[in-house]
Amino acid sequence: MILLGVGVVAAALTSVDYLAVAAERDDVQAQVEGLRGAAEQRQAALAKVPAPSSARASKAVAPSAAHWDALFASLEAASDDSVTLLTLHPGEKEIRLSGEAKDFPSAVDYVQRLQSQPSLANVRLTQSETVAENPHHPVRFALAADWRSAR
């Protein structure tokens, strides 16, 4: 009799859990459908926007090959073992970089070395933070610089 009672209670708890999971699944499905509808609306709106000519778009967005060559030469000349570059985000007139240095003075030295490079101007440290969870406590940083010969 006790075993039958335990079985009934277990079945009831399982049913309650099932209903809760089913309700959560329905909520997630409704959110997915809402997001899908919003994405379709955005795609429809973007389809109505005329695309710029490819020559004009590439000229507006991408620096020339000479700019890239000069940038990579500058980054190579300024690099050393104390700094690792993580990201490079070029814009029409500005370049944003992020990296990690062994300490804050190394990050500042890197900024100064970049400032002396011929392809970059106005190099500035925009953010820095010590990575506490790493036992070596490196400094993660972000910087911005202008193309020296930006259009």
Residues 142 and 91 in one domain: yes
In angstroms, the CA 59 to CA 67 distance is 12
Residues 22 and 78 in one domain: no
Q: What's the structural domain count of the chain?
A: 2
Give the structural domain span for 95: 63-147
Q: Is the pTM of this model over 0.75?
A: no
Q: Which residues have a Cβ under 8 Å from the Cβ of 12 and sit 6 or more positions away?
A: none
Indicate the SS3 state at residue 48: helix
Residues 118 and 80 in one domain: yes
Q: Report the CATH number that the domain containing residue 130 is assigned in CATH.
A: 3.30.1360.100
| CB distance 10 to 4 below 8 Å | no
In the block, residue with structure tokens 């009831």: 12
**58 within domain boundaries:** no
Residues 141 and 102 in one domain: yes
pLDDT (tens, 9 = 90+) of the chain, 151 residues, equals 999 999 999 999 999 999 999 999 999 898 888 888 888 888 877 777 766 555 555 554 455 666 777 778 888 888 888 888 888 888 888 889 888 999 999 999 999 999 998 888 999 999 889 988 888 889 999 999 998 764 4
Residues 45 and 84 in one domain: no
Residues 18 and 70 in one domain: no
